[in-house]
Chain A
Amino acid sequence: MKVSSKDVISVNNFSFSYPQTKKPAISSMNFTVKEGEFFCIVGANGAGKSTLCDSLVGLIPQYFLGTTKGQVLVNGQETTKQTVAELSLEIGLVFQNPFNQLSYTTSTVAEELAYGLGNHGIPRSEMLDRVAAVAKKMRIESLLDRDPLTLSGGQIQRVAFGSTYILNPSILVLDECTTQLDPIGSEEIFTIIKQLNDEGVTVVMTDTETERLSMYADRILLLDNGLQMGVDKPQAIFAREDLEKLNISTPLNYQLTQELTKIGILDSPEFNQDIILEKIKEVENGYR
């Protein structure tokens, strides 16, 4: 699905300070996220990525006490006007540590997936259908009867992801949800996220793997020390000269495409692997 022109998230001059701190954790945030967009947030540790994610889903200011300024709108409604639970039907959050996303009251993956549906009063017959559909999407059908606490990191993250997605939110916020996974587990999660995004789900993601973010992101928000340094396309963000100063590594694939641009294979830095391969093949065929 293509990115539409409709803003599903609008952050207007939003600042938040935790109690008993002088410096705001995030300050004067101003950006929008479009429907169907793959929007990434990049910043060093302590830049304010998680605080921003918590603000988008209403945990700030409803769960965390502190001082807020400005507003966050999700689908046109201010996040303070609905409870976090009500908002979760529109915008879901997946945490870094999947174990903290579990309910700890269930003995099988199927029950764990259905837990949120039960809280929303979804009838059991519909629950069964949705559990089956989400399990298929998350590639965990074979794990439905397993105890969630006996699963591997990658498997448990897919269960945690599924337990958020099962509420059918149109926007997913993923806060470094692949950080604790091995490369295979991380790849599995990214594949699922990309698939959901292709199906129309708006994705807001923070991650430390800038290589992968650069491949998937439509736009990137750059944060430093709670300040918004810029929102732009990956090519523009990773072309910035101050990245090293902001403790952000330039993705290797960007460096590679920069070199390819210098020697004339690409017109401009490109993150789409298919386009890069096509261009290289063109050059290869030209030599032959």
Chain B
Amino acid sequence: MTDNWVRRLNPKTKLLMIPVFGIATIVSPGMLLGLFLLLVVIVMAWQANIIKKFLQTMISFGIPIAVMLFIIQGLYSPQNHTYVANLGFAKLGLEGLMYGGKLLVTLLVFMGSFYLFNKTIYSGELAAALIKSSLSDKGGYLILASLNVVPQMKRQLQVIKEAQEARGVQTGGSLLTRIKVFIPLMGPVILSSLIDTQERGMALELRGFDLKNVSKTSYIQVVDTKLDKLFRIGMLLFLIIVTAFSIYLKVRR
């Protein structure tokens, strides 16, 4: 992970960005603010040197979702009354398209800010930041452990897949073949993950995870700069202003 200002931001700042940007996009009328926030996230991803993978992920997720949302909302939204195209079997409504666009932008803002958060923090940083600020480290643990267990499950899946291949089961080939193989593979993966979860819980207990009345410490030193605090206050103020402005607009209508 290269060193840059995005990477150096306190994990709490980047974590707060996810709900603030997401909620602001939801409550704001139209999708202009959402598009602006998406642009901010893209610029930050560029500054953090993760722009290539960031765009790959966003596009591979965004295109199928966009097609689905535009078809469903554009053709079948009950709010449609301005039609932009007649496809014969159905008419494409502007209101539905706009609503679909808003949903898509909201999803991309949530996903983009989460991707940025995930790719620009070291694993232990969030827990360390939460411990330092006397907030619950359990929430941080939940997020981090969930993120880190996924690669472990992927490894497990690979082991089971290789074991199946060694017994002559064809796991490659066409999409249909792969789907057919993938479904029975999931059984052992999920089952072994559940069993592992129990043992991991025990291991955490044995390492004092649930100790009460102890002021926890951390190996990692996380810096919370004035800029971070300013960013967080700024984001909260921004959310309050956007929400208030949206309520004002609704009431005025």
* Given A100-B199, A119-B211, also A105-B141 (CB < 8 A): yes
* Given A84-B206, A164-B206, also A124-B217 (CB < 8 A): yes
Chain-A contact segment, one of B80-88, B143-151, B231-239: B143-151
Q: Is the CB of B207 within 8 A of A121?
A: no
User: Is A116 interfacial (CB 8 A cutoff)?
Assistant: yes
Q: Is the CB of B208 within 8 A of A105?
A: no
Q: Is the CB of A116 within 8 A of B208?
A: yes
Residues of chain A from 160 to 199 with CB closer than 8 A to chain B in the complex: 163-164, 167
Name which of B148, B203, B209, B218 has the most chain A CB atoms within 10 A of its CB: B203
B121-145 interface code vs A (CB 8 A; 1 in, 0 out): 0111001000100000000110011
Q: Is the CB of B211 within 8 A of A57?
A: no
Q: Is the CB of A124 within 8 A of B221?
A: yes
Q: Is the CB of A85 within 8 A of B211?
A: yes
Q: Who on chain A is nearest to B214 by CB? A: A121
**Chain A residues whose CB sits within 8 angstroms of the CB of B209 once the complex forms:** 85, 119
Chain-B contact segment, one of A106-114, A209-217, A252-260: A106-114
Q: Who on chain A is nearest to B140 by CB? A: A105
**Chain B residues whose CB sits within 8 angstroms of the CB of A102 once the complex forms:** 200, 203
User: Is A28 interfacial (CB 8 A cutoff)?
Assistant: no
Q: Is the CB of B123 within 8 A of A105?
A: yes
A105 interface neighbour in B145, B210, B217, Cβ under 8 Å = B145
Q: Is the CB of A105 within 8 A of B196?
A: no
Cα of A93 to Cα of B205 in the assembled complex, Å: 11
User: Is A117 interfacial (CB 8 A cutoff)?
Assistant: yes
**Chain B residues whose CB sits within 8 angstroms of the CB of A123 once the complex forms:** 217
Q: Is the CB of A119 within 8 A of B207?
A: yes
Q: Is the CB of A110 within 8 A of B208?
A: no
**Chain B residues whose CB sits within 8 angstroms of the CB of A115 once the complex forms:** 207, 219
Q: Is the CB of B206 within 8 A of A104?
A: no
Residues of chain B from 197 to 227 with CB closer than 8 A to chain A in the complex: 199-211, 214-221
Q: Is the CB of B196 within 8 A of A121?
A: no
Q: Is the CB of A107 within 8 A of B124?
A: yes
User: Is A97 interfacial (CB 8 A cutoff)?
Assistant: yes
Residues of chain B from 14 to 44 with CB closer than 8 A to chain A in the complex: none
User: Is A83 interfacial (CB 8 A cutoff)?
Assistant: yes
* Given A63-B202, A85-B208, A120-B208, also A104-B149 (CB < 8 A): yes
**Chain B residues whose CB sits within 8 angstroms of the CB of A54 once the complex forms:** 202
Interface residues of B toward A: which range? 35 or more
Interface residues of A toward B: which range? 35 or more
Name which of B122, B140, B204 has the most chain A CB atoms within 10 A of its CB: B204
User: Is A103 interfacial (CB 8 A cutoff)?
Assistant: yes
* Chain A nearest CB, measured from B135 CB (Å): 15
**Chain A residues whose CB sits within 8 angstroms of the CB of B215 once the complex forms:** 121
Q: Is the CB of A83 within 8 A of B207?
A: no
B92-134 interface code vs A (CB 8 A; 1 in, 0 out): 0000000000000000000000000000001110010001000
Q: Is the CB of A92 within 8 A of B206?
A: yes
Q: Is the interface of A mostly helix, strand, loop or mixed?
A: helix
* Given A111-B220, A114-B219, also A103-B211 (CB < 8 A): no
Q: Is the CB of A97 within 8 A of B196?
A: yes
Q: Who on chain B is nearest to A169 by CB? A: B206
User: Is A80 interfacial (CB 8 A cutoff)?
Assistant: no
Q: Is the CB of B207 within 8 A of A131?
A: no
**Chain A residues whose CB sits within 8 angstroms of the CB of B200 once the complex forms:** 100, 102, 104
Cα of A97 to Cα of B156 in the assembled complex, Å: 13
**Chain B residues whose CB sits within 8 angstroms of the CB of A106 once the complex forms:** 123-124
**Chain A residues whose CB sits within 8 angstroms of the CB of B220 once the complex forms:** 111
Q: Is the CB of B210 within 8 A of A111?
A: no
Q: Who on chain B is nearest to A106 by CB? A: B124
**Chain B residues whose CB sits within 8 angstroms of the CB of A116 once the complex forms:** 206-208
Name which of A86, A97, A107, A164 has the most chain B CB atoms within 10 A of its CB: A107
**Chain B residues whose CB sits within 8 angstroms of the CB of A92 once the complex forms:** 206
Cα of A117 to Cα of B149 in the assembled complex, Å: 22
Residues of chain A from 211 to 245 with CB closer than 8 A to chain B in the complex: none
Residues of chain B from 139 to 169 with CB closer than 8 A to chain A in the complex: 140-141, 144-145, 148-149, 151-152
Q: Is the CB of A121 within 8 A of B216?
A: yes
Q: Is the CB of B210 within 8 A of A83?
A: yes
Cα of A110 to Cα of B209 in the assembled complex, Å: 18
* Chain A nearest CB, measured from B36 CB (Å): 33
**Chain A residues whose CB sits within 8 angstroms of the CB of B124 once the complex forms:** 105-107, 111
* Given A85-B211, A99-B152, A105-B123, also A122-B217 (CB < 8 A): yes
* Chain A nearest CB, measured from B205 CB (Å): 4
Q: Is the CB of A84 within 8 A of B205?
A: yes
Cα of A128 to Cα of B219 in the assembled complex, Å: 8
In the A-B complex, the 10 residue pairs with the closest CB atoms: A119-B208, A116-B207, A114-B219, A100-B199, A104-B148, A107-B123, A85-B208, A105-B144, A121-B214, A104-B145
**Cross-chain pairs A/B with CB under 8 angstroms, 8 sampled:** A95-B203, A100-B196, A117-B219, A118-B218, A118-B219, A120-B211, A149-B148, A167-B207
